[in-house]
């Protein structure tokens, strides 16, 4: 449950690069901790309470229907469906952008179709399949960052630990991008209700799984930022696709691993 919650809410550090480019590493890490406790935790507690009260699959669709009736539940369910179509379609675009290969437009569409087909097939197999593959993806996500740190130490790359404490001048900080990107990175906790009727171990397992995901969620952003920032402290150069470009510059293998990890985001 902990790993599935992780993948439902973020799945990988992809996307947070823009926040670093808006205000530097220290501010982003502070905002990550703040948002996780004052934005994400209340969402998780609300979703936990509703999931434990209504212990069958359906999530927010079931919650709304029970509270306001079938028609409002119907509208809410279709609105949620449309929202997911828009959000997840963006993730398939990001997946192709992270791939270090020059594709034609037709090839891009075929790769996206293959990705969606694979994700649908895994989810049709059931919760256990999703959980097992998510566990594998979790390892794939973090290994490249540790590999890059090892490579940096092996080749005696200069590490700028002092840069982690730097805060840009207020006039240079883009608070809108920094805050909105970080808030976006902690969402979809209502998705846990989708499997409220399938969690083994009762209420305690459900609660410990969801709340236990928070250290993992915070580490998912802070560890990659720290490792990458001490190697490349030029925060203004950070932006979307920064992980892929940075990884390709140091190791082509890690770039491919990150791309595979992005599959985990779409697995939500």
Q: How many domains does the chain have?
A: 1
Q: Which residue has the tokens 């902690």?
A: 186
Q: Where in the sequence is the domain holding 219, given as residue range(s)?
A: 2-266
In the chain, which stretches have pLDDT less than 50?
253, 262-268
Per-residue model confidence (pLDDT) at position 267: 45
**pTM: predicted TM-score of the whole model, two decimal places:** 0.79
Greatest C-alpha distance within the chain: 64
Per-residue model confidence (pLDDT) at position 22: 93
Q: What is the rounded CA–CA span in Å between residue 241 and residue 256?
A: 13
Per-residue model confidence (pLDDT) at position 255: 53
Determine contact, residues 196/57, Cβ cutoff 8 Å. yes
Q: What is the rounded CA–CA span in Å between residue 213 and residue 170?
A: 33
Per-residue model confidence (pLDDT) at position 123: 75
């Amino acid at each position: 449950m902990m790993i599935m919650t992780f993948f439902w809410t973020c799945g990988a550090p992809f996307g947070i690069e823009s926040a670093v480019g808006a205000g530097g590493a220290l501010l982003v890490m502070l905002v990550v901790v703040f948002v996780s406790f004052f934005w994400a935790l209340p969402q998780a507690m609300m979703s936990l309470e509703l999931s434990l009260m209504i212990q069958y699959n359906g999530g927010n669709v079931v919650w709304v229907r029970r509270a306001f009736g079938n028609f409002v539940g119907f509208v809410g369910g279709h609105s949620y469906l449309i929202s997911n179509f828009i959000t997840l379609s963006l993730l398939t675009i990001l997946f192709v952008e992270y791939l270090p290969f020059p594709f034609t437009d037709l090839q891009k569409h075929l790769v996206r179709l293959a990705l969606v087909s694979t994700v649908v097939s895994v989810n049709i197999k059931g919760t256990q399949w999703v959980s097992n593959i998510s566990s594998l993806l979790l390892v794939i996500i973090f290994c490249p960052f540790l590999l890059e740190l090892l490579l940096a130490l092996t080749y005696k790359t200069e590490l700028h630990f002092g840069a982690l404490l730097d805060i840009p001048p207020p006039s240079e900080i883009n608070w809108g991008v920094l805050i909105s990107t970080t808030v976006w990175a902690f969402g979809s906790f209502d998705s846990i209700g989708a499997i409220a009727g399938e969690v083994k171990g009762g209420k305690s397992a459900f609660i410990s799984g969801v709340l236990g995901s928070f250290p993992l969620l915070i580490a998912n952003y802070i560890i990659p930022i720290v490792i990458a920032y001490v190697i490349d402290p030029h925060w203004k150069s950070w932006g979307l696709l920064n992980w892929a470009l940075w990884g390709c510059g140091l190791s082509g293998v890690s770039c491919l691993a990150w791309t595979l990890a992005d599959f985990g985001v779409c697995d939500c």
